[in-house]
Amino acid sequence: MILHTEERFAVLRAAQHEIRSHQGRVPDDGFYERKLAGAWDRARRSDAYRGIGEFSPARFRELPVTPRESLKERPLHYAAVPPDQAAKYYETTGTTGTPTPTPRTAEDTIWNTVSVAEAWRPLLAEGARAVVLLPSDIVPVADLVVGVCEYLDVPHIRAYPFATGISDWGRLAAVWRTFRPTVVFAAPGVALQFTRLLAQRGELAETGASVERLMLLGEVNTAPYRRRLGEWWNAEAHDASYGSTETGTLAASCREGRQHLLPAATYFELDAGDGAVPLTGAGDGRLVVTPLNAHARPLLRLDTGDEVSLGGGCPCGSAAPVVTVHGRAADGLLVKGAPLSVRAVEEVVYGVTEATGYLLEVDRAGGYARLLLERGFRADRDGEGTARERVQRSSGELLGLRWDEVVFVNSLPATTKSGASQKSWKRSNIRHLETVR
């Protein structure tokens, strides 16, 4: 974090007090009225919201939802601070189009870091040592994790293994032996690639001996995948956080492995098909968010496009809603009449096989689909026929699809594993073929 003035230390102290005071509970209406008024006032400095007038709770409820498409089309229209006046400048990956410019002030960084750090505090106990296998160029994910580690006094090292010439796999393994990390922050694809490499070298058990927890972020990951990865490493595997470059972090994992919304940092609404309304309990719908501490680009009632399920009763004791993110409907794919999503496909791949990666080959007409599975490091080739049958049966039950072929291969392109901000599911795990006859 950027802390070299009294003003910024004051921001840090205010963030600490506010986030800690509301940790594990949902703030009252008075809190939200005060915070929304501040977000509204900052938003009025942008071209997008310049004419919205003075804040009132009624006027906020009447404000039209901000479509995500509008933000993607005119990102700087929503900026209250131009890129050259921000403390940090990021861009989204452009997984669904053109990358979105995202300036951030020091206030943005401080508030987001404190919010996530206080949520993760139970997962980063005293004595923790973290390795951050995430990219730090252009995108904020590694900066966030490093900021959390600094805030919580957790020794850490950045070592993104796709940084050619600096942190390749061999260098990473050597550093690991010295540092002996207890917590691994990584995108699911990167974790898979490293797991496979270590297993092929016969070093997985030794390398993983110090690891207690795997914190996965940057991509959608499923419960079957996390169980599989946890078994390989003999460690807990958590879906560490949910959010976006545009909104900041919206949810974080608890010690029970569930994700909770961060209601002290964001005002949440749910659109179940009849318009966005404040959260009242369990439900399903599209998440609409107003980040409460955004300064460079304040957003009011942003439709994230993410379909979610909300619940409660987590054993960790937090009253903040538990969230399961199903992904964006727009990110799905229609194949042979069946709608596919990354979450649904990986429920099959990691639920019934020990594959360490996959690639979908489909024709552009959507009438042909072949599933390539990377053989696991404990692959039993004699049992692959049975494995294919399990995949087809599970695909029929969960996806409503029967693959034209299910093929096991020795290895897949590294682009299916690079992970996090370098990754787009449609670009890295789907290969379009000419029409197959």
Across the range 249-263, mean pLDDT stands at 96
**147-to-152, 236, 249 alpha-carbon distances in Å:** 9, 22, 13
Do domains 111-242 and 332-433 share one topology? The answer is no
pLDDT at 427: 64
- Structure tokens, 74: 């005119």
- Is the CATH number of domain 111-242 3.40.50.980? yes
What is the three-class DSSP state of 113?
A: helix
What is the three-class DSSP state of 5?
A: coil
- Among 3.40.50.620, 3.30.1330.10, 3.30.300.30, 3.40.50.300, what is the CATH number of 332-433? 3.30.300.30
- Across the chain, what does the average pLDDT equal? 90
Measured CA to CA, the distance from residue 88 to residue 84 in angstroms comes to 9
- pLDDT (tens digit per residue) in 210-244: 999 999 997 778 888 899 999 999 999 999 999 98
pLDDT at 437: 52
- pLDDT (tens digit per residue) in 31-47: 999 999 999 999 999 99
Mean pLDDT is lowest, of 8-12, 126-130, 393-397, 420-424, for 420-424
pLDDT over 80 at 113, yes or no: yes
Q: Which residues, listed in sequence order, are joined to residue 214 by a DSSP beta bridge? A: 184, 237
At residue 93 the predicted structure's pLDDT band, cuts being 50, 70 and 90, is low
- The residues spanned by each domain of the chain are 6-72+254-327, 111-242, 332-433
DSSP string, 130-165: EEEES--SSSSHHHHHHHHHHHTT--EEE--TTSTT
pLDDT at 425: 64
Measured CA to CA, the distance from residue 142 to residue 136 in angstroms comes to 5
Measured CA to CA, the distance from residue 245 to residue 421 in angstroms comes to 10
pLDDT at 100: 84
pLDDT at 96: 53
At residue 422 the predicted structure's pLDDT band, cuts being 50, 70 and 90, is very low
pLDDT over 90 at 421, yes or no: no
At residue 314 the predicted structure's pLDDT band, cuts being 50, 70 and 90, is very high
**309-to-64, 261, 272, 332, 416 alpha-carbon distances in Å:** 23, 11, 10, 18, 28
pLDDT at 420: 41
pLDDT over 80 at 434, yes or no: no
User: Could you tell me which of 316, 326, 339 has the C-alpha nearest to residue 395?
Assistant: 339
pLDDT over 90 at 404, yes or no: yes
